[in-house]
A = this chain, B = another copy of it.
Amino acid sequence: MAEPTAGGDARFDRVAIIGLGLIGSSLAHAIKRGNLAGEIVGAARTEQTRATALRLGFIDRAEADPAAAAEGADLVVIAVPVGASGAVARAIAPALKPGAIVTDVGSVKQSVIDAVRPHLPDGVHLVPAHPVAGTEESGPEAGFAELFEGRWCILTPVAGTDEGAVARVAALWRAVGSQVDTMDPRHHDMVLAITSHLPHLIAYTIVGTATELENTLQQEAIKFAAGGFRDFTRIAASDPVMWRDIFLANKDAVLEMLGRFDEDLTALQRAIRYGDGKALEEWFTRTRAIRRSIVEAGQA
Binding site for B on A (CB under 8 A): 1, 83, 107, 132-134, 136, 151-152, 154, 181, 190-192, 194-213, 217, 220-238, 240-241, 243-245, 247-248, 251, 254-255, 257-258, 260-262, 264-265, 268-269, 272-273, 275, 277, 280-281, 283-294, 297, 299-300
Question: Which B residues touch A288, using CB under 8 A?
Answer: 236-237, 240
Question: Which B residues touch A229, using CB under 8 A?
Answer: 194-196, 199
Given contacts A194-B209, A199-B206, contact A132 B290 (CB under 8 A): no
Would you call A194 and B223 a contact (CB within 8 A)? no
Would you call A230 and B300 a contact (CB within 8 A)? yes
Would you call B285 and A210 a contact (CB within 8 A)? no
A154 to B291, CA, bound (A): 30
**Chain B residue, CB-CB nearest to A240:** B284
A159 to B16, CA, bound (A): 68
Would you call A264 and B205 a contact (CB within 8 A)? yes
Would you call A240 and B285 a contact (CB within 8 A)? yes
Q: Which residue of the partner chain, among B212, B233, B268, contacts A291 with CB atoms under 8 Å?
A: B233
Question: Which B residues touch A181, using CB under 8 A?
Answer: 223
Question: Does more than half of chain A's interface fall in helix, strand or loop, or is it mixed?
Answer: helix
**Chain B residue, CB-CB nearest to A266:** B262
A-B complex: 9 closest residue pairs judged by Cβ atoms: A196-B227, A199-B228, A240-B284, A237-B291, A236-B287, A207-B287, A195-B229, A244-B280, A233-B291
Q: Which residue of the partner chain, among B195, B230, B257, B285, contacts A228 with CB atoms under 8 Å?
A: B195
Question: Which B residues touch A201, using CB under 8 A?
Answer: 265, 268, 272
Given contacts A209-B261, A211-B289, A211-B290, contact A254 B272 (CB under 8 A): yes
Q: Which residue of the partner chain, among B208, B261, B284, contacts A286 with CB atoms under 8 Å?
A: B208
Q: A16 CB to closest chain B CB, in angstroms?
A: 26
Question: Which B residues touch A206, using CB under 8 A?
Answer: 194, 198-199, 202, 261, 264
Would you call B234 and A284 a contact (CB within 8 A)? no
A274 to B214, CA, bound (A): 30
Given contacts A211-B287, A228-B200, A229-B196, contact A269 B280 (CB under 8 A): no
**Chain B residue, CB-CB nearest to A288:** B237
Given contacts A233-B294, A236-B290, A280-B244, contact A257 B224 (CB under 8 A): no
Q: A204-B283, A222-B297, A237-B287 are known; give 16 further A-B pairs, CB within 8 A.
A: A199-B206, A199-B228, A200-B228, A207-B291, A208-B283, A211-B289, A212-B260, A225-B294, A230-B294, A231-B234, A231-B235, A236-B287, A240-B284, A244-B280, A244-B281, A255-B273
